[in-house]
């Protein structure tokens, strides 16, 4: 149920105290609004944080790596019942790392408990929108998932670069593959997928390109030069031929120097 005005004001005051303390990089003031049993899930893969000692260590790590400059709550919903309140919020935060400012949207949920005349945070969860999930999509597409995986793995493409350092990257997947899977059913879709992947790999080999990463029906392919005939620039009809229309490949290509 929606919090009454008095409870909402008290909860907002706790959130405001924490944000101001965090911007000041003051871990003691941050801890003052947290329960000793607080549990936090942060945005990092290793950020499951339990208890005040672990929270202090996490904030000290944060402050050693960046200077927080802005933390704005741009929308919030506050509900409460008896001595428990819960908050969902959208935020915008900025950090200074070296001489560079970074800004990122975030989602923030909290659970607070009233102990005597004080509200304390007992659960805390921060998340960021998935970069590999396009607007309008409920799940990451293969092309975006591949791009995300490559950002994490950072494969060495220097052996595939042209003498001037240029690498051409090709991203390809099957157009409308989700709808096609639903229409064909799992068995027939797997037949189409195997045929598609086989033809892509044949073309990669024929045109002396390099398969960097594949996932589902998506491929990331590297070539030394945009001037070299790549699978999509020279052989779109070959790629499409074993696939039942309308299972057509779609691609995005870019070239850049690799330092």
pLDDT at 73: 96
What does the chain come to in residues? 259
Q: Which two tokens stand for residue 46?
A: 């290793």
Residues 128, 74: Cα–Cα separation, whole Å: 15
Q: From the centroid of its chain, how far is CA 150?
A: 13
The neighbouring-strand residues paired with 49 are: 40
pLDDT digits (tens, 9 = 90+) for 141-171: 666 666 666 666 677 767 767 776 777 878 7
For the whole model, what pTM was predicted?
A: 0.60
Rounded mean pLDDT, 32-46: 95
- pLDDT at residue 234 is higher than 50: no
pLDDT digits (tens, 9 = 90+) for 108-151: 999 999 999 999 999 999 998 876 666 777 766 666 666 666 66
pLDDT at 187: 82
- Same topology, domains 5-127 and 142-257? Answer is no
Greater confidence, 235 or 4?
4
Look up the CATH number of domain 142-257.
Answer: 3.30.70.270
Domain ranges of the chain: 5-127, 142-257
What is the percent of the chain with per-residue pLDDT over 70, rounded to a whole number?
77
Looking at the structure, give the CATH architecture of the domain made up of residues 5-127: Roll (3.10)
């Amino acid at each position: 149920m929606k919090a009454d005005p008095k409870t909402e004001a008290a909860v907002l005051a706790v959130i405001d105290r924490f944000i101001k303390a965090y911007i000041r990089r003051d871990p003691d003031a941050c801890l003052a609004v947290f329960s000793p049993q607080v549990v936090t899930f942060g945005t990092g893969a290793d950020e499951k944080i339990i208890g005040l000692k672990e929270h202090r260590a996490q904030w000290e790590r944060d402050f050693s790596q960046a200077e927080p400059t802005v933390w704005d709550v741009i929308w919030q919903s506050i509900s409460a019942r008896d001595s428990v309140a819960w908050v969902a919020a959208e935020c915008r935060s900025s950090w200074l790392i070296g001489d560079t400012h970074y800004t990122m949207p975030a989602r923030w949920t909290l659970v607070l408990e009233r102990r005597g005349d004080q509200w304390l945070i007992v659960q805390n969860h921060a998340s960021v929108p998935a970069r590999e999930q396009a607007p309008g999509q409920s799940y990451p597409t293969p092309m975006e998932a591949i791009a995300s995986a490559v950002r994490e793995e950072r494969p060495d493409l220097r052996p595939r670069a042209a003498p001037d350092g240029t690498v051409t990257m090709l991203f390809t997947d099957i157009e409308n593959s989700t709808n096609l899977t639903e229409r064909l059913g799992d068995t027939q879709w797997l037949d189409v997928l195997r045929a598609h992947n086989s033809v892509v790999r044949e073309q990669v080999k024929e045109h002396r390109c390099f398969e960097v990463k594949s996932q589902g029906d998506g491929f990331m392919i590297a070539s030394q030069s945009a001037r070299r005939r790549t699978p999509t620039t020279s052989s779109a009809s070959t790629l499409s031929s074993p696939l039942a229309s309308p299972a057509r490949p779609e691609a995005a290509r870019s070239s850049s120097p690799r330092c």
